[in-house]
Chain A
Amino acid sequence: MVISLGLTSQALTNPGIDLEFSFNQAIQGLGLSSELAHLIWLPLPMLLVLVAAVVGVLVTVWLERKISAAAQQRIGPEYAGALGVLQPMADGLKLLVKEDVIPARADSLLFTLGPVLVLIPVILSWLIVPFGQNLLISNVGIGIFLWIALSSIQPIGLLMSGYASNNKYSLLGGLRAAAQSISYEIPLALAVLAIVMMSNSLSTVDIVEQQNNAGLLSWNIWRQPVGFVIFWICALAECERLPFDLPEAEEELVAGYQTEYAGMKFALFYLGSYINLVLSALLVSVLYLGGWGFPIPVEWLADWLGQPTNAPLIQVITGSIGIVMTVLKAYFLVFIAILLRWTTPRVRIDQLLDLGWKFLLPISLVNLLVTASLKLAFPIAFGG
């Protein structure tokens, strides 16, 4: 996990908040070498993102329970903390102290490795999620492609845990999860490819940058409405959320590949699925909803108020607005996902594969071709 040089060059072209640069200067001011300063800096953003991811999951779990309750005219959790905000913490604590059971005649190594292999790629993908101009761990050149590559490791973990559990439900769940992930990865990648084609870059920062020329109107959702829908459907399928939660379909498969898991290993799956949901929502907001961009560009507002864009206060405000906007957009999408959960019935496995291969794949191919031709025809509007 190396902080790329792209960051510094970005910082030169657009002087926003660059925490790393300032931190390194401060450390070097204490008389330490720049390499040492870099080493001290390195774990900080990683830790921050890990904490952000876990807090994001706690919030999402609480939201999921409260919104589900509202959709069913229930109250939901209300005794653990005000309005039950501490309920996810209580759940997590319970899972933490529960007995760790490995079923008889299960492959203990693979059984333990499975959930880890599911969780790590998801957390690693947070590497590329930008909350602002320089507010991301690493502006790697392959950016969004890294996420697609990492997310294809997940089915291996699912299959591994399903197979190692020595349970027919787990095995079926694992197989379903693998089939689902593999078939939805392709339309997902094609939808991303259309975006990449328009922004001429795989880097998430560049993708957001080219959406923020004119605020709300320049967001990718207007240029890629079909791509947006395809991406969202595929993201839901990748997260194994309803209507695509067949790998863990309670009525048929008990809990799918999670059947034999308890305690902390189950918590890893649980955490993984929710981190994945938040991550998908964040990426949708980055790719299609202008990322950290405010509906009206902050630069315009600053100009209108007669403030210089590079004043420290304005930069802090811009940075905060960026973080708030990204999170707000992501949580709006999480809300839509929860609403969808209580609206749509679960699809059958054949319907799922039909939708993936016979509907989304051709549509996303057509979308890609149309985007390419529009890019040739109207290079101004489609990033020529």
Chain B
Amino acid sequence: MLGFLKQVTAYTKEAFGAANYLFQGLAVTFDHMRRRPITVQYPYEKLIPSERYRGRIHYEFDKCIACEVCVRVCPINLPVVDWVMNKETKKKELRNYSIDFGVCIFCGNCVEYCPTNCLSMTEEYELAAFDRHSLNYDNVALGRLPTSVTTDPSVQPLRELSYLPKGTMDPHDLPQDISRAGKLPSEIIELGKENPSTINLKKTTQNPTQIEPNQE
């Protein structure tokens, strides 16, 4: 009899516990009612890609020395470097270069290791195509620069996350000249020139060319 009662008690406790969890979940869902939408109306509004965004790879044919380092550091040996040895000059003559972005994982190793900096990463991420073979970019396609979100007149560029001023979550209707939270790298450099003791070594060693790309 006592065992049965224990069972009943345990079962009831379990049922009430389940109901309690359900109410906790409902409270969380209900709490979302007062949170504002984070929607970006995509084709009309676009987020500004962050610094060091790894988009489609840009390639400068004239800088390339056909060393094939990019092929060796690529996880799947993706870049195709088509060169011939010129017997007279004893130099490599580059004929074609291509990367298939249907296969590329945008790891950026090729960009990292290119000895002549002829590879770089762009902000382009809209690579949809009707035919996957059209994603195989040759050196001409790789040499094109994408339209920047900030300069496209048909697009409203939006800042995101750390590019927003402190305490702001909504990127809409921000004042044009408002700065992001903290100092820009360029400002830190300016500060360092005036008074080198105010900033630590770590910040001065930052890449001085890395500037805020998101000024609208």
Contact = CB atoms under 8 A, between A and B. Distances in A.
B22 A344 contact: yes
A357 to B, nearest CB: 15
B2 interface: no
A336 to B, nearest CB: 8
Interface stretch (B31-39, B56-64, B98-106, B133-141): B31-39
A50 interface: no
A383 B39 CA distance: 54
A74 B37 contact: yes
Given A70-B33, A71-B32, A339 B26 contact: yes
Contact of B15 (A67, A344, A359): A359
A343 B22 contact: yes
Contacts of A340: 26
Interface string A44-78: 00000000000000000000000101111111000
Contacts of A344: 22, 25
Given A343-B22, A344-B22, A359-B15, A71 B29 contact: yes
Categorize the interface residue count of chain B.
Answer: 10 to 19
B38 A73 contact: yes
Nearest to B32: A71
Interface in A330-384: 339-340, 342-344, 359
A342 B15 contact: no
B37 to A, nearest CB: 5
B42 interface: no
B28 to A, nearest CB: 7
Contact of A70 (B25, B26, B28, B32): B32
Interface string B12-35: 000100000010011011101101
A339 B31 CA distance: 11
A73 to B, nearest CB: 5
A122 B26 CA distance: 29
Categorize the interface residue count of chain A.
Answer: 10 to 19
A74 B15 contact: no
A75 B37 contact: yes
Contact of B37 (A73, A342, A343): A73
A73 B32 contact: yes
A71 B25 contact: no
A365 to B, nearest CB: 15
Contact of B30 (A74, A339, A359): A339
B29 A342 contact: yes
B37 A71 contact: no
Contacts of A72: 32
Interface in A307-345: 339-340, 342-344
B26 A73 contact: no
A72 to B, nearest CB: 7
A137 B30 CA distance: 36
A71 B32 CA distance: 5
Contacts of A71: 29, 32-33
A342 B30 CA distance: 10
Nearest to B28: A343
Most buried by A among B22, B29, B30, B33: B29
A130 to B, nearest CB: 30
A339 B36 CA distance: 17
A138 B35 CA distance: 45
B7 to A, nearest CB: 13
A80 to B, nearest CB: 15
A72 B29 CA distance: 9
A344 B22 CA distance: 7
Interface string B154-179: 00000000000000000000000000
A186 B64 CA distance: 77
A352 B75 CA distance: 48
Contacts of A343: 22, 25-26, 28-29
A363 to B, nearest CB: 9
11 contacts: A69-B37, A70-B33, A71-B29, A71-B33, A73-B38, A74-B39, A339-B29, A342-B29, A343-B22, A343-B29, A344-B25
Interface of B: 15, 22, 25-26, 28-30, 32-33, 35-39
The 6 closest A-B pairs by CB, nearest first: A343-B25, A343-B29, A75-B37, A75-B39, A71-B32, A73-B38
Given A73-B37, A73-B39, A340-B26, 20 more contacts: A67-B33, A69-B37, A70-B32, A70-B37, A71-B29, A71-B32, A71-B33, A72-B32, A73-B35, A73-B36, A73-B38, A74-B37, A74-B39, A75-B37, A339-B26, A342-B29, A343-B26, A343-B28, A344-B22, A344-B25
